[in-house]
Amino acid sequence: MAETLFSKIIDREIPADIIFEDDQCLAFRDINPQAPTHFLVIPKKPIPKLSDAGAEDASLLGHLLLIASQVAKQEGLEDFRLNVNNGAGASQTVFHLHVHVLGGRSFNWPPG
């Protein structure tokens, strides 16, 4: 996989407001927040998009969701939205799998 903005954050080549890290993933605040609380949870393993994940990634994918919930609670969120964009047509701009966690405001349905 080509080096991405997120791989540079993992390698500390680019600064980020990191709010959680373990051996499998990293969570940091979005630089263009779409809600009062908006952070990303990314795997350290380079997976370009969700549809590129395989059966061997099942545990990692579950871990990302558990960490998203844990950090949301740490950030004081009771209600929050998770979003994963898969591909350019779905507005994915950084091709390193990431989970958006948004909270602190009401959301509409369907998302647009």
Q: Can you list the alpha helix ranges (DSSP code H) found in 1-112?
A: 5-10, 58-74
User: Which one is catalytic: 38, 63, 96, 98?
Assistant: 98
Catalytic status, residue 98? yes
Name residue, tokens 């979003």: 83
Query: Residues in the chain, how many?
Result: 112
Q: Which residues are catalytically annotated?
A: 98
